[in-house]
Amino acid sequence: MERLTRTGVILSLIEEMGRAGSWCGETHVQKCSYFLQAMLGVPMGFHFILYKHGPFSFELRDELTAMRADGLLSIQIKRASYGPSLTLGRNAHVVRRISDNVIRNYTGQIEFVARWLSTKGVAELERLGTALFVTVEEANLPIEAKTNRTIGGKANRTIEVRADRINQLKPHVSIDEALDAVKAVDYLYDQARELGLMDT
């Protein structure tokens, strides 16, 4: 994806998140971008790692900073006790106008992510993002590694194995919370497939 198009996708995502009731802090933008890319296949090209509050991209953080410098994003302080919100900046309309035709290809995915994740709190976003991270990690394991990983005699692809992995990576997330997060991610996959937002 070209940088201009990627910037347009980020602007559209932030705008749609705001419409859906999001605080639009960087954590929300990070997690929603991760879901766009990792679950729905929007080719944003960011490298995500599992970090303090779930999947995080230093490249995306740098991109958001550059977008602020270019007047594409602004920071708004809504409450002193919370971090700043990202809003569209004075120059956002220029990028949106130029990249609008390509961004239309991703409108369904952007609306889906905004609708499902925008109003989640940071702790829930961490659990959901980590559940998706583990699900993607599991899907990318070689087949021989998958067949050797079991819990209680169950196959490795089960919800319990992924929940256990979340708990290993994030000990403050209980097994019950991890199970709920994995089930929620599986549900989102099912919903996205039903809506034709994924290739498979």
* Nearest alpha-carbon partner for 139 in 113, 177, 165: 165
**Dihedral (Cα; 113, 115, 116, 118), 10-degree rounding:** 90
Work out whether strand 54-56 and strand 49-51 pair parallel, antiparallel, or are unpaired.
antiparallel
105-130 confidence digits (pLDDT tens): 999 999 999 999 999 999 999 999 99
Report pTM: 0.90
Distances (CA, A) of 106 to 29, 44, 102, 113, 199: 16, 11, 8, 11, 13
> What is the spatial distance between Cα 53 and Cα 71, in angstroms, rounded to a whole number?
28
Beta carbons within 8 Å of 19's beta carbon, 6+ residues apart: 114
**DSSP H stretches of helix in the chain:** 3-19, 26-34, 58-69, 92-103, 107-117, 122-139, 143-148, 159-169, 175-194
Distances (CA, A) of 121 to 116, 128, 175: 12, 11, 19
3-state secondary structure of 88: strand
118-168 confidence digits (pLDDT tens): 999 999 999 999 999 999 988 876 544 444 444 443 444 589 999 999 999
pLDDT value at residue 154? 41
